[in-house]
Amino acid sequence: MIDWEDGPRELVAQLRFRDFAEAFSFVQTIAELAEEEQHHPNLDWRYNRLKITLSTHDLGGIVGPKDRLLAARIDSAYAEFT
């Protein structure tokens, strides 16, 4: 389970992977989920570290239902991934 930092303006998760290839693979998984939901997170990926930030710009940059749904889907994918 991902430990999301749950603030009023954004949800943030910071993950660490074994190596570059594993992190890249999970970024691809997130990209597929984001396309399915038509809601796209900000991703900051550096070698084996990934920072995921979710907020809804259409709602003025706050955490909305789409953010929580995508966070839950990312969390499920991460549980299967690790």
Distance between CA atoms of 41 and 55, rounded to whole angstroms?
Answer: 7
pLDDT recorded at residue 18: 97
pLDDT recorded at residue 51: 98
Three-state SS at 76: helix
CATH classification at residue 67:
3.30.1360.20
**Domain tally for the chain?**
1
pLDDT recorded at residue 79: 96
pLDDT recorded at residue 42: 97
When pLDDT is cut at 50, 70 and 90, the band that residue 82 belongs to is confident
The pLDDT tens digits for 23-80 are 999 999 999 999 999 999 999 999 999 999 999 988 899 999 999 999 999 999 999 9
Determine the structural domain holding residue 50 and report its residue range.
5-81
Q: How many CB atoms lie within 10 A of CB 16?
A: 10
Q: Starting from the edge strand earliest in sequence, which strands make up the sheet with 49-54, in order? A: 5-6, 11-16, 49-54, 42-46
